[in-house]
Structures are given as C-alpha cells and as structure tokens.
Amino acid sequence: MAGPGQDLENPLGVGAGALHEWIFATRTGREMIGQPGGSEDIDDDLFKQGFDGIGATVMGRNMFGPVRGPWGESDWRGWWGDDPPFHHPVFVLTHHPHPPISMAGGTTFHFVTDGIDAALALAVDAAQGADIRLGGGASTIRQFLRAGLIDSMHIAVAPVLLGGGERLFGDEPIAYECERMIASERVTHYLFGRSS
Amino acid sequence: MAGPGQDLENPLGVGAGALHEWIFATRTGREMIGQPGGSEDIDDDLFKQGFDGIGATVMGRNMFGPVRGPWGESDWRGWWGDDPPFHHPVFVLTHHPHPPISMAGGTTFHFVTDGIDAALALAVDAAQGADIRLGGGASTIRQFLRAGLIDSMHIAVAPVLLGGGERLFGDEPIAYECERMIASERVTHYLFGRSS
C-alpha cells in the first residue's frame, strides 16, 4: 500500500510511485489529472469500473491529506485539485471535526468523527441505492474487513519490491475468493468477492 | 508462504494447499509425485525452469520436515518420498547435527549446523559451476536476502487470501527489479533479478 519513509514529500513512502504508475498510463487515469492519451486496455477497463455505479466514497484521513492531529488553520482540500474525480459525497474518517468542503463537479468532502459504522450509514444514505466505494488507506480497509463490511475487492499488485512500508493485510480472518485474476504488462489485478 | 495454524497435519497451515495447487496441475509437478497428465503451459515451463542448471539446493530445516529440536531417533527422510526431485546434493540448515542421508536418484541430504555462509560455500563447491537453488522456507530466504546473497527470485502468487500465516518478506532493504510478470489461469509469476 505504501513504501518506507512516508512524509509530506513522499506521501506514500519512498519508491511507492511505482505502485500507481499503471493508473497514470490509462486513459481514465490520465483524464483524472487533466492529461490526454493513455491506454484503453484491461488496466483502463478495471480502473474505470472502480467508479461505475458508485454513489458515495469512504476514506481514511491519511488518504484525504497529509495533515495530522487537529485541522487548525489548514486549508487542505484533498490531493485531487479543484475538480476531484469522485463527483459524489466522500466521507472522510477523522478524530477531529471539520466542516464539509464542497468542490466542483459534485464532490463534497464530509468529515465523520464517530467511526466506520457512522460513516458507512451516512454513505449508504447519500448513495441512494448505488454502491459505496472504500477509498483506503490500509488501516481503513482493515477496519472494514474486521467488521465484515466489504463485499468485493479489487487488488492491483504492481511488480515492485519496496523493502518495507505499509501492508494491506494484517491477520484479519477473511473469507473471500478470487473471481478473476488478470495481468497486463504493468500490473496484476485480483478481483475478490465474499466466499459463497 | 504458509497459512495460519501450522502443525504436523497442516505443515503449511490451514488453507495453504491452495498456494501450491498450480504446481500439481502441471506435467512436471505431477511427475514429481508419480502422477501422469498435467498441463504443459507457462506454469509448467516456469516450474520446470526452477530445476534447470541447478547443481545444489539449500533449504531450511522446516522445509525438510516437521521434526523440531534435536533429531533424536527420527528416521524422517524428507517430504518427497524415496526418489526426491532434486537429483543433486541438498544442504539443510539446522542447529542439530545429523548424518547425511543418501536417497535414490542422486539426492543426498547434508545437514549444516554453522549457518548460511557455510551452507552456501558447501553448495557452491558441490554444484561445480552450476547454479544454487534456495528451496525455502520464508525465514531461510529472508536470511539470504539480508545477506545480499540472492541473484534472482521466482515468486508465484496464488489468488488466495489466507487471513494469516507466514509472510515471505519482512522489512529487508532489497534492490530487485521485475524482469517478467505473467499470469496463467491459476497463478501469477513474478521473476525478479538484482537491480542494475
């Protein structure tokens, strides 16, 4: 999920840019950062599919930004510029209250201070029957896994060894089966659903 | 590398059979256990390639067998039956001396009590210019990684989540790059070499 030595300059740790190179090689990933071109292949299909039918996103605070502790005078508005790629309500888990932030394109960041169940309830309500996407990071995903709240996972494994950093999985007992595994030139995708 | 709850009945932990199913679906893997049939595909090619040009193998004691502590009266001769698939000298790392065991087909198990450098020196000598294969398990591989003694790695990732067990990597600083990544229906292969 991240390499060693995470700080403001290396928000995902040293070397971890390689984890997401495949995204910025796709047409959808490049559109997200206002760039033309990009591949229209399995990587693009699966990255795009991650946004299909999603009505709300839940993410951890470190996924939203590098600010730690109380928000203070911070005017941080997320990693994604003025028009974030969500276009729906995003619920950010934090211990510190923060007023909602409305962005262009229909994205509003809401800050939830009372845990994952509260965040999920708000997201379900906001999504009006559409799916909820869990944006990360690792500790947020592990909290939802432990609570048995995840139906399906798309895990993209980039062929890079970082030598440390943050892992996706701890020792959560989990019951998922792989429904699809497919490798492009850049990354291998594993799609997991609950074991039947 | 292994699932949770390793014991005599589940030497690789609960559920970990799924890690090696791809091997026993290949022609070479089935031959190894005296069975006909099996696929002749990329999985078979890469599994077979792991034996090509190898003159000696080094492995940890737990890879050799389930006996722990002093060997005592144990007549354990490895997991592989009367004709193990090595056909060359195998050096087993252990803290407890044991006389060599000669098997059919040219495999001899030697027991080395003075660490990985000694085992590697003996293996290099025995291999007479051929390559040395590191058989595992995880803790042996990590010792060799930390000592900078591994030139190339074939990592096979089966699409299964075990929810615990033994990991291949700790936080060793490592400098390898992926030279090839390819997925079959059953497993994804990652071939790593030292970074240039």
Q: Phi/psi of residue A91, each to 5°?
A: -105, 115
Residue B196 has pLDDT above 90, yes or no: no
* pLDDT averages per 10-residue partition of chain A, 196 residues: 84 87 95 91 95 96 89 91 92 97 96 97 98 93 94 95 89 88 96 91
Measured between beta carbons, the chain B residues lying within 8 angstroms of A173 are 163-164
ipTM rounded to 2 decimals: 0.86
User: What's the rounded Cα separation, in Å, for the pair B139 and B166?
Assistant: 9
> Would you state the pLDDT for residue B57?
98
- Tens digits of residue pLDDT in A14-24: 888 899 999 99
A55 by DSSP, 3-state: which? strand
Rounded mean pLDDT of B2-17?
84
* Sign of the dihedral defined by the CA atoms of residues B151, A1, B188, A148, in that order: positive
> Would you state the pLDDT for residue B152?
95
Q: Where are the domains positioned within chain A?
A: 17-65+83-194
- Tens digits of residue pLDDT in B154-183: 999 999 999 888 899 988 878 899 999 999
- Tens digits of residue pLDDT in B72-111: 988 999 988 888 989 999 999 999 999 999 999 999 999 9
Residue A82, min C-alpha distance to chain B (Å): 36
> Would you state the pLDDT for residue B153?
96
Residue entry with tokens 């729906």: A88
User: What's the rounded Cα separation, in Å, for the pair B115 and A99?
Assistant: 60
Superfamily of domain B17-66+85-194: Dihydrofolate Reductase, subunit A (3.40.430.10)
> Would you state the pLDDT for residue B13?
86
Residues A57 and A91 sit within 8 Å (Cβ to Cβ): yes
Contact B169 A178 (CB under 8 A): no
User: What's the rounded Cα separation, in Å, for the pair A184 and A148?
Assistant: 30
Closest Cβ–Cβ partner in B160, B172, B178 for A163: B172
Contact B161 A173 (CB under 8 A): no
> Would you state the pLDDT for residue B170?
83
Q: Which two tokens stand for residue A50?
A: 């991650």
Measured between beta carbons, the chain A residues lying within 8 angstroms of B163 are 169, 171-175
> Would you state the pLDDT for residue B151?
95
Measured between beta carbons, the chain B residues lying within 8 angstroms of A178 are 159-160
Measured between beta carbons, the chain A residues lying within 8 angstroms of B183 are 181-183, 188
| DSSP 8-state code for residue A72 | T
- The hierarchical CATH code for the domain A17-65+83-194 is 3.40.430.10
Chain B residue closest in CA terms to A169: B163
Closest Cβ–Cβ partner in A171, A173, A183 for B181: A183
> Would you state the pLDDT for residue A14?
85
> Would you state the pLDDT for residue B66?
85
Contact A159 B190 (CB under 8 A): yes
